[in-house]
A and B are shown apart, each in its own frame.
Chain A
Amino acid sequence: MSSESEPPPALRLENVSHTFTAGGRALRALEDISTRSARGAVTGVIGPDGAGKTTLLRLVAGLLRLQRGRLEVFGVDVARDPDGVRRRIGYMPQRFGLYEDLTVRENLDLYGKLQNVAPAERDARDRELLHMTGLGPFMNRLAGRLSGGMKQKLGLACTLVRVPMLLLLDEPTVGVDPVSRRELWEILAHLVHAERLTVILSTAYLDEAERCQRVLLLHQGRLVGAADPASFTAAAYGRSFHVSVSGLGKRQLQERIARVPGVIDATIQGAFVRVVTESGVQLTSVALPPKSGPLHILSVPPRFEDSFVTLLKSIRASSGSRPPVQPRGGAERAMRSAGATTARATRASGQDAVIIAEELTRRFGNFVAVDGVSFTVRRGEIFGLLGANGAGKSTTFRMLCGLLPASAGTLRVAGFDLRRAAASARGRIGYMAQKFSLYGDLSVLENLRFFASAYRLEGPRRRARISWAIEEFELAPRAQDVSRELPLGFKQRLGLACALMHEPDILFLDEPTSGIDPLARREFWWRINALAESGVTVLVTTHFMEEAEYCDRLAILAQGRVLARGDPESIKDRARSAARPEPTLEDAFIALLQAVPQPSAA
């Protein structure tokens, strides 16, 4: 393969298609993909869940039979010589492929032997890897007891025990805190630089695209774009803006801007509304209420996501489905029916706290998962609990919902401790869990009916709410389908519909948009915004920094404690420095986390 002429590329795909059959139905996972990746570069395979990322990586690793097309790794045909391909690659599957009941050292030893690393070299290599990943102090800890970030690094170390020519990483950054994410990227950059490694990784985080040398954009099994990230974003130059108006809430402003023709995307980012327009569109035509101040428009550099959303919208428009980002009548009706005016009035004057946590603590044996967490959430507010896996946000969340008793401290939700209060008190809250936990065997309609009964709806109101849900969330076309088989975005809409069935005062959302595509995420936040405007209090946990921008206020958790509390802008202020005048929320988060001493090996 080291021929004198041009060496073959690290990866070459020609007309690769892949179909799964499940329950008699054929499912197109990949459709006619042709591309190539250069050596010594990081290629990102980017797309929402179900786009075909994992299938693509598994095909490259020879773990799935190549059904159609041609696939070569460094000139080696996967179909003909899968073992030859395996000798050239290192592959880390989703969830890192670690043996959780083996220690860090045992995992490393195992993969070292499996990759035939000579015992003499192994020690040196292990030391190098441990140094690189910082796992040294945790050698004898079971892999299952590591934090998400440490697991990710161990998984990576296991694939690197012998330096491969091609490193394949499937969603290496899922469930990992921003600091660990950033560290992973630093390690990868180092490897590519120092060892001339070629890397292909998949991710659902669009902001990671900008760190790749080349991006393969997958959507519903199709390759909708393949280029370097800069050329993606270049197309959006001069079309991205930060908009704000004094005297008008960001959510109202966002709603008004989104209605302007030619606006592709309007999202909330801290105090601003971030707007992406078609080229040549003027934003001055935004209808403003009489008392508000003038429109501040600031041109900003485009992000990768801007171009992705533009691309997705053009795909949707050409396939004839509705443009989803516009606020729709339904949301407005819901807003009005819930008495938006009164709600806004209370919000303006209202400092009445709906959720109170004071010195909330939860211990599991010797381990303190949540350590004296305090915060309050006011009516009509969107409050975010931010933190990596294991930071204590899920534990806090579960205590607030009454799913877990607190070891110490007080908590009040709408005046109740939900764990002790009468069952009827729970009728005031709505809950949507991670992964949209609905009954997968039941149809959409059966799920709706069940939750209507669960929330004690009867007679005409029950009927009215069920038909409201079907209409508002556009569930009608698949109302009879078994919900397990729905696409993720649809499931998420159904989950929200069920949580809102009884018009709750308080809405608990646990990682509500993980894995869904950016358009569906925008649509989701439109609804949440409308609800908050109508006076519903929303508590949301997330590790998406971008989502945190939607929140009115945040609490950032790390190791069970509140690191910072406040609105997104004030948190960003903490990381503002001369070197970084415009920090993102992620920058702020990382700065805060790095100020905390890292846990030692216990």
Chain B
Amino acid sequence: MWRAIIALIVKELLAVLKDPRSRLVLVVPPLVQLIVFGYAATFDLNRVPIAVYNQDGSAASRELVARFLGAHVFRGLASLKSARRITPLIDAREVGLVLAIDRHFTGDLLTHRPAPVQLIVDGRDSNTALIILGYANSIITGFSLDWQRAHGGGAVPAVLDVRTRYNPQLSSRWFIVPGIVALLTQVVTLLVVGLSVARERELGTFDQLLVTPFRQVEILLGKGIPGLLIGTIEASATILVAVLWFHVPVRGSLVALYLGILLFVAAVIGIGLMISSIAVTQQQALLGAFLFMVPSIVLSGFATPIANMPPIIQALTWLNPMRHILVIVRGVFLQGATTGAFLPEYAVMAALAGSSLMAAGWLFRRRIY
């Protein structure tokens, strides 16, 4: 039995590697996605242009402005002389923030009245607006505390002492890049497996296979194992790039990571084979893969947290293998987790793999004609 399965696997790998189109699927989308996601998909802000409208002009206000301009997230674009220019600058998206300091700023500070400072941001990109406000707030708080200390106003009763675990620089890239491992593994495995049966059906070789003494289990294994190999290799290549190129640390156990990847790939193969056994043509298979892939990525926590979703949708994400592998990949990369931490994820993915493979086998039998 194994000799025959090995022959199937060798055939499958040769077919994938020799066909220029399949090679394209293996190389181009991963490359494009690595670059695009690795570099472009970031929530981190960098050199956001700001404008300052300082009506006060005293040393204190200049000190505050200097703190803003000195922060790496901000970049001074304009110093305004009139309030009228504020709105056009924001509206035309020329600046992300306008810092407006009141005429009585220093006076209020010295007389212990709350000194008003206006932060005007652009809410069209709400996330960026919130992050900008966060940065601005912490600069102002820092200034306030220092001012109080220096001017004998007495210390504030308590201060926040914030520490960030696992990702001290709060780099989005550390969040996104490990996610790409899961993303690419899913895309490539799904396309390779999902299209393989459809391709054989189109070419007529599938009939040829079915009249040989292969059993269905053997054909399923012969289709699945190459997917497992390719998916795992793809994942490993991406892990290498993540570590060597993007310098994301791997702190946890590789055993835990690879156990997760194997189960994940198995689940994706099951889904791919299901698509494959329903689709008649490659085009249908491609569309099917696309229809599965879009929600599975959006609802995986790849870029947007699952915790923010409505409860029903959160429950739905349990059926999404990508959700679970993302937990494992990020856990191992950043949190230094080991096998024991992921028992629920392993169990769910194993169940998903088992049921999808079984469903694929059943559909296979139904569709063999």
Q: Could you tell me which A residues sit within 8 Å of B by CB distance?
A: 398, 401-405, 418, 423-427, 429, 431, 433-435, 437-442, 446, 449-451, 453-456, 458, 482, 508
Nearest-neighbour CB distance to chain A for B15, whole angstroms, equals 5
Nearest A residue to B6 via CB reads A453
Which residues of B285-331 have CB atoms within 8 Å of chain A's CB atoms? none
Nearest-neighbour CB distance to chain B for A429, whole angstroms, equals 6
Nearest-neighbour CB distance to chain A for B16, whole angstroms, equals 8
Q: Is B94 an interface residue (CB 8 A)?
A: no
State whether A440 touches B203 (Cβ < 8 A).
yes
0/1 per residue, B136-157, Cβ < 8 Å to A? 0000000000000000000000
State whether A423 touches B203 (Cβ < 8 A).
no
Which residues of B325-369 have CB atoms within 8 Å of chain A's CB atoms? 368-369
Q: Contacts of B119 on A, CB cut-off 8 Å? A: none
- Give Cα A435–Cα B208 distance, bound, in whole angstroms: 11
Find B213's partner among A427, A434, A449, A482 (CB 8 Å cutoff): A427
State whether A454 touches B214 (Cβ < 8 A).
yes
Nearest B residue to A434 via CB reads B204
- Give Cα A143–Cα B74 distance, bound, in whole angstroms: 65
State whether A437 touches B7 (Cβ < 8 A).
no
Interface pairs (6), CB distance under 8 Å: A403-B211, A418-B211, A426-B212, A438-B208, A442-B14, A453-B7
Q: Contacts of A439 on B, CB cut-off 8 Å? A: 11, 14-15, 205
- Give Cα A405–Cα B210 distance, bound, in whole angstroms: 13
Find A402's partner among B209, B211, B214 (CB 8 Å cutoff): B211
State whether A454 touches B207 (Cβ < 8 A).
no
Nearest-neighbour CB distance to chain A for B364, whole angstroms, equals 13
Q: What 16 new A-B contacts, CB under 8 Å, besides A402-B210, A439-B11, A456-B213?
A: A398-B369, A401-B210, A426-B212, A426-B213, A431-B207, A437-B203, A437-B204, A437-B205, A438-B205, A438-B208, A442-B14, A450-B10, A453-B7, A454-B8, A482-B18, A508-B211
- Give Cα A427–Cα B205 distance, bound, in whole angstroms: 17
State whether A424 touches B11 (Cβ < 8 A).
no
State whether B15 touches A442 (Cβ < 8 A).
yes
Q: Is B215 an interface residue (CB 8 A)?
A: yes
- Give Cα A482–Cα B205 distance, bound, in whole angstroms: 16
Find B14's partner among A403, A446, A454 (CB 8 Å cutoff): A446
Total residues of chain B contacting the partner, CB 8 A: 25
- Give Cα A300–Cα B209 distance, bound, in whole angstroms: 45
State whether A450 touches B7 (Cβ < 8 A).
yes
- Give Cα A458–Cα B212 distance, bound, in whole angstroms: 15
Q: Contacts of A454 on B, CB cut-off 8 Å? A: 4, 7-8, 209, 212-214
Nearest-neighbour CB distance to chain A for B8, whole angstroms, equals 8
- Give Cα A442–Cα B15 distance, bound, in whole angstroms: 6
State whether A403 touches B207 (Cβ < 8 A).
yes
Q: Contacts of B19 on A, CB cut-off 8 Å? A: 441
State whether B213 touches A442 (Cβ < 8 A).
no
Q: Is B84 an interface residue (CB 8 A)?
A: no
- Give Cα A208–Cα B14 distance, bound, in whole angstroms: 43
Find B208's partner among A427, A433, A440 (CB 8 Å cutoff): A433
- Give Cα A508–Cα B211 distance, bound, in whole angstroms: 10
Q: Contacts of B14 on A, CB cut-off 8 Å? A: 439, 441-442, 446
- Give Cα A427–Cα B214 distance, bound, in whole angstroms: 9
- Give Cα A510–Cα B128 distance, bound, in whole angstroms: 64
Nearest-neighbour CB distance to chain B for A512, whole angstroms, equals 13
